Amino acid sequence: MAVALTTLALWACAPAAETKDVKWTRSGTATDTIDHHLWDQLLTRYVTAGADGINRVDYAALKREDSATLKKYLDAMQAVDIERYPKDEQFAYWVNLYNAATVNVIIDNYPVKSIRDIGVLGLGPWKEDILTVGGERLSLDDIEHGILRPIWKDVRIHYAVNCASLGCPNLANHAYTAANLEAMLDAAARGYINHPRGFRRVDGELVASSIYDWYGTDWGGESAVLDHARKYASPETKAMLASAQHIDRFDYNWSLNAK
């Protein structure tokens, strides 16, 4: 029981957004683009949209047929001199690297029922140093909370990075690029907010994803979360949120988003 309570308590407090190293704030003017075609091919091949609106990953087939391709992509990304590139190119790079590394962690441990089953005490793999970029060892937490969140300060990051869970915003079936960045971020926000994982009514209560609880300060509090949701809401979701003054409770499904 003590272990369960400790794990729950740790998940109630998401990591703060604090820049890991000032070098990650630097950007350049390189005019070439980072090549994400291998990751795009893997996403197109192994990520499919379910009838329930949740994208699922065929981890078994990916592990069997293309694990070497995924590792080749990760090796190529770790060799990139990311400081050479402008901000939009960097943003797409970090999102793709995070998502590809997460998928790689899953297939290295597959079969598994939840990403939280990897590691110890139900804490998952997020704090493990699994990548090397610019000569620095990085964890998934370093990318999300030490680079993406503090440097870009864009709440749509939470719809772009994927934690391999059914409760998470969808893993996109195409790679992010500087050219498609804004369109894909907005589409990801709309897709999640207008899905029951994002917001739903249960017995009259407004239930929202735990993402809005864990990272509520990124939006500026509960009222700002609701204003944000209304911005991307469909007519049906907007009607559901019209009279909402607060969120009654939060919920999240950590089951693996496997096909």
pLDDT at 104: 98
What is this structure's pTM? 0.95
Q: Report whether pLDDT(216) > 50.
A: yes
Residue with tokens 């440097």: 151
- Predicted confidence (pLDDT) at residue 2 exceeds the cutoff of 80: no
Provide the percentage of residues in the chain whose pLDDT is more than 90: 93
Confidence (pLDDT) at 13: 64
Q: Above 70 in pLDDT, residue 8?
A: no
Query: Rounded to the nearest 10 degrees, what angle do helices 67-78 and 87-109 cross at?
Result: 140
Query: Taking 60 as the threshold, does the pLDDT of residue 5 lie above it?
Result: no
What is residue 4's predicted lDDT score, i.e. its pLDDT?
34
pLDDT digits (tens, 9 = 90+) for 25-62: 999 999 999 999 999 999 999 999 999 999 999 999 99
Per the rule left: phi > 0, alpha: psi between -120 and 50, beta: everything else, 53 is left
In this prediction, residues 165-186 reach a mean pLDDT of 98
| Cα–Cα distance measured from residue 44 to residue 34, given in angstroms and rounded to the nearest whole number | 18
**Residue 7: per-residue pLDDT:** 37
Run of H or E residues at 205: strand 205-209
Residue 20's pLDDT band, with cuts at 50, 70 and 90, is: very high
Name the average pLDDT for the chain: 94
Q: How far apart are CA 256 and CA 17, in angstroms?
A: 26
Residue 9 vs residue 77, higher pLDDT: 77
